[in-house]
Amino acid sequence: NFLLKVSSLGYKKEDILEIMEISDERHVMNLLDMIFTEKGLGRNIKEILTLVNDLVYRGEKAEMIMGLIGSRLRLLFKIKILKEKRATTQDLMKSLKTGSSWYAERMGKIASSISYEEFDKLFEILLEHEFTLKTTSVDTNSLLEILILTMVNAREARRGA
């Protein structure tokens, strides 16, 4: 029905589907930005889980989202090491394969906000959840929510210690 109404306004189905795909991609990036912030791991669990549920409702697989969280975590760890080696913004841009100095600097700030001990704990949590995903028949959406909660709670526990 929606596509019929919009097509009557002169838009083609392909145009609408393309816009929706971009929107889903942006949704995933928003999720990663909410989890990994310049102040460390995100604190607004309700918003994060709402966005996760929206992505799953849109058809994104929980396994894919977990994979993207892992990819972002590995990328941030790599950037942290580069920053400790006094990498310039240009070096970070090259490593990130981006032409945006703003993005490189932002990712550098995010990576710097996470300690090596926190990275260790986050990688451990991620591995435990990936193992559970691959060796049990647990509901993947629930596992994704538990992964996010565990990661954020691990961060908060370290802050209080």
Q: What is the pLDDT of residue 27?
A: 73
The chain-wide mean pLDDT, for the chain, equals 83
- Residue with the bigger pLDDT between 131 and 43: it is 131
Q: What is the pLDDT of residue 159?
A: 44
Closest CA to 106 of 116, 119, 92, 117: 92
Residue 75 CA, chain-centre distance (Å), reads: 11
Band (pLDDT 50/70/90 cuts) for residue 158 is: very low
> What are the tens digits of pLDDT across the range 85-141?
999 999 999 999 989 999 999 999 999 998 899 999 999 999 999 999 999 998 999
Band (pLDDT 50/70/90 cuts) for residue 156 is: very low
Closest CA to 139 of 32, 66, 43, 44: 66
